[in-house]
A and B are shown apart, each in its own frame.
Chain A
Amino acid sequence: MITDDDVRYVARLARLRLEPGEAERMTGELAKILEHIGKMSELDTADVPPTAHVLDVVNVMRPDKPRPSLTRDDALKNAPAVADDSFRVPRMG
């Protein structure tokens, strides 16, 4: 059963700040959803291979030749903060 502490831990993994009370509310919601998902354990899947992709495509390659791509100006166009032609971020903690 998922607990408030689990939810806070997962939120940290997901880099998601939850408001006061949000973690507790989410614990209840996630518990209910996970209970439904638990239905899968009725099936014996030991000998069933997993599906990651539905089509039989293998590696898609192209020649390793340089070609035009996004310009620096375009790449920085939507950035909230820019310095020295780079994305500017707060210092590491």
Chain B
Amino acid sequence: MSGVLDPLRLKAREAKRLLVDGEVSAAELTKVYLDQIAAVEERVHAFIRVTADNAAKYSTKIDREMQAMRGPLAGLPLAVKDNMVTEGVTTTCASRILHDYAPVYTATAVRKLWDAHVVMLGKTNLDEFAMGSSTENSSVQVTGNPWDLATVPGGSSGGSAAAVAAGEALWALGSDTGGSIRQPAALCGIVGMKPTYGAVSRYGLIAFASSLDQIGPLTRSVYDCALLLRHIVGKDPYDATSVELPFEVELPEGDRLDGLTVGIPGEYLALGIEPGVRARFDETVALVEELGGRCVEISLPHTEYGLPAYYIIAPAEASANLARFDGVRYGHRAEGAEDLLEMYERTRGEGFGAEVKRRIMIGTYALSAGYYDAYYGRAQRVRTLVRRDFARAFEGVDLIVSPTSPTVAFRAGSRTDDPLAMYMSDLCTIPVNLAGLPALSIPCGLSDGLPVGFQLIGPAFSENRLLKAAHALEGALGFETAPTFRDSAASSDAADAARSVAARAAADGAPPAPPGEASS
């Protein structure tokens, strides 16, 4: 059976049916993905660590103990971004400072999926501590976009997005602080969702910016997105900012948008959206109307202030959160320091990469005496203005739509020398995090052979409305194209050399127990 399963096209909904009907075993399904990893990972570099042995053993156990292991997601293979701690499996955040960190507990979102008997395939690459928009800030390796390996997969959940797009995983978890699920999903031609702030526990998500971070799904369809989301949401005693959703996440149905009013923010379209992206966006808006939706122009007047506010708030929170990496309790420690202060400074100087240092510096500066009001205080007030923009807009519309990213996937190396140019990748996604809203990106076509993402934003706790609308639109768009693994830089070997900074250095250490074992 597994011979006819195409990992580039198979969706979780179909895989689940095949498993339930006994047409495929969990072990066979897992092997489909491990085989695809063996075939393409050398070029994609989506994983920091592949837990192949554990995945094979665990899936066999599911088949053997079918009565006891009938979790709602039993046997469905998953990839997890390597900033969620997993007991028994090294968690690195793609940072030198955590290169051998062996967590002694498991993130709640991952634990819930293990309890539902998903099969974890491995931990995926990211920008170090999730700080970046291209996954090039990883200290481990640079991930290639399966649509053109010379371009980036987006970031910071670039490893998870590339793994799903490349058929190396059925679906994946990512985290989104300023667009880190939606932007890579857009650039890799898949679905990615950031839930309402608080909907998913952040316990065990290594903190970047606590008031913005949120875990969410990266999948090959909107239905799959809802299916994964419904198993990770909920209030968690270990995360005081988590909340119980006032509803159950519904599996979306229907193909119409009748009665739905959709707002198009003029300010977003003025943000230097490239023509190919704009064309796909306009076509998709036309499709919304064909399906019975009504599109109106709206204004979110403080849009252009979102990015500056974000680049104070996120680094300020990061500078506090990353203070814990000091060489005392875990992670890297500099050798031979004379005293404690020297040990701290050298450990952190050696352990963090350039972008992480830059953000710690901005954050520390913004919080330092004399600058607090001018930067952090003001940014928090601007955050209120951004929230009010959305609140006002949602008085007149049900959803807001925009391009997810102003551009398609860009070439590796093309923005690394200019931090500000890289930050611009997230112009359309950042305001959503500032306001704590749910949003998702669906693929809406190609421009120059590369995927374009269409973002739908809803009011807080409108997940079901968002998923239903995205599902209807997805059906009408009919985007079923699979990536080709072409490499537009293939003529120069240099590109490939640059890509494997340290190819999967960590891939060998065998963790002690199959993931999920400890939970039973």
Given contacts A10-B368, A17-B349, A78-B329, contact A48 B385 (CB under 8 A): yes
0/1 interface trace, chain B 98-120, chain A, CB 8 Å (1 if under) = 00011011000000000000000
Question: Closest approach, in angstroms, between the C-beta of A53 and any C-beta of chain B?
Answer: 6
Q: Decide: A50 and B384 in contact? CB cutoff 8 A.
A: yes
Q: Which of A30, A32, A57, A90 has the most CB atoms of chain B within a 10 A radius of its CB?
A: A90
Q: Decide: A29 and B419 in contact? CB cutoff 8 A.
A: yes
Q: Decide: B349 and A16 in contact? CB cutoff 8 A.
A: yes
Interface positions, chain A 1-33, Cβ under 8 Å from B, are 2, 6-7, 10-19, 22, 26, 29-30, 32-33
Question: Closest approach, in angstroms, between the C-beta of A32 and any C-beta of chain B?
Answer: 6
Expressed in whole angstroms, the Cα–Cα distance for A50 and B211 within the complex equals: 13
Q: Decide: B379 and A40 in contact? CB cutoff 8 A.
A: yes
Expressed in whole angstroms, the Cα–Cα distance for A63 and B34 within the complex equals: 46
Q: Decide: B368 and A51 in contact? CB cutoff 8 A.
A: no
Which of the residues A29, A38, A50 comes within 8 Å of B381, measured between beta carbons?
A50
Chain A residues with CB under 8 A of B375: 37
Expressed in whole angstroms, the Cα–Cα distance for A80 and B344 within the complex equals: 13
Q: Decide: B348 and A15 in contact? CB cutoff 8 A.
A: yes
Q: Decide: B387 and A40 in contact? CB cutoff 8 A.
A: no
Given contacts A33-B311, A37-B375, A70-B104, contact A15 B340 (CB under 8 A): no
- Answer yes or no: B436 CB below 8 A from chain A CBs: yes
- Answer yes or no: A39 CB below 8 A from chain B CBs: yes
Expressed in whole angstroms, the Cα–Cα distance for A19 and B350 within the complex equals: 9
Q: Decide: B198 and A14 in contact? CB cutoff 8 A.
A: no
- Answer yes or no: B237 CB below 8 A from chain A CBs: yes
Given contacts A16-B348, A39-B304, contact A48 B381 (CB under 8 A): yes
Q: Decide: B328 and A79 in contact? CB cutoff 8 A.
A: yes
Instruction: Name the prevailing secondary structure of the A interface residues.
Output: loop
Which of the residues B197, B339, B341, B348 comes within 8 Å of A55, measured between beta carbons?
B197
Given contacts A14-B319, A55-B241, A79-B330, contact A37 B343 (CB under 8 A): no
Q: Decide: A78 and B102 in contact? CB cutoff 8 A.
A: yes
Chain B residues with CB under 8 A of A13: 364, 368
Q: Which of B326, B382, B423 has the most CB atoms of chain A within a 10 A radius of its CB?
A: B382
Number of residues from B at the complex interface, CB < 8 A: 70
Question: Closest approach, in angstroms, between the C-beta of A45 and any C-beta of chain B?
Answer: 4
Expressed in whole angstroms, the Cα–Cα distance for A11 and B50 within the complex equals: 36
Q: Decide: B241 and A53 in contact? CB cutoff 8 A.
A: yes
Chain B residues with CB under 8 A of A17: 345-346, 348-350
- Answer yes or no: B502 CB below 8 A from chain A CBs: no
Expressed in whole angstroms, the Cα–Cα distance for A7 and B362 within the complex equals: 10
Expressed in whole angstroms, the Cα–Cα distance for A49 and B388 within the complex equals: 11
Interface positions, chain B 322-364, Cβ under 8 Å from A, are 323, 326-333, 337-346, 348-350, 352, 357-358, 360-362, 364
- Answer yes or no: B420 CB below 8 A from chain A CBs: yes
Question: Closest approach, in angstroms, between the C-beta of B433 and any C-beta of chain A?
Answer: 9
Q: Decide: A30 and B342 in contact? CB cutoff 8 A.
A: no
Question: Closest approach, in angstroms, between the C-beta of B87 and any C-beta of chain A?
Answer: 10
Chain B residues with CB under 8 A of A43: 302, 305, 382, 385
Chain A residues with CB under 8 A of B357: 16, 18, 22, 26
Which of the residues A10, A75, A90 comes within 8 Å of B365, measured between beta carbons?
A10
- Beyond the given pairs A26-B361, A37-B308, A87-B328, 11 more chain A to chain B contacts, judged by CB atoms under 8 angstroms and listed by A's residue number, are A10-B364, A14-B360, A15-B323, A29-B419, A33-B358, A40-B305, A48-B385, A57-B240, A79-B328, A90-B339, A92-B341
Q: Provide a sorted-by-A list of 25 A–B residue pairs whose CB atoms are within 8 angstroms.
A: A6-B365, A16-B345, A16-B357, A17-B348, A17-B350, A26-B361, A29-B419, A30-B358, A39-B305, A42-B305, A45-B378, A45-B381, A48-B381, A48-B382, A48-B385, A50-B383, A51-B380, A54-B387, A54-B460, A74-B104, A77-B102, A78-B330, A90-B339, A90-B343, A93-B339
Q: Which 10 A-B pairs have the closest CB atoms?
A: A54-B436, A17-B349, A50-B380, A78-B330, A93-B339, A80-B333, A45-B381, A17-B345, A60-B240, A74-B104
- Which residues on B are within 8 Å of A, measured CB to CB? 101-102, 104-105, 197-198, 211, 237, 240-241, 243, 302, 304-305, 307-309, 311-312, 319, 323, 326-333, 337-346, 348-350, 352, 357-358, 360-362, 364-365, 368, 374-375, 377-385, 387, 419-420, 423, 434-436, 460
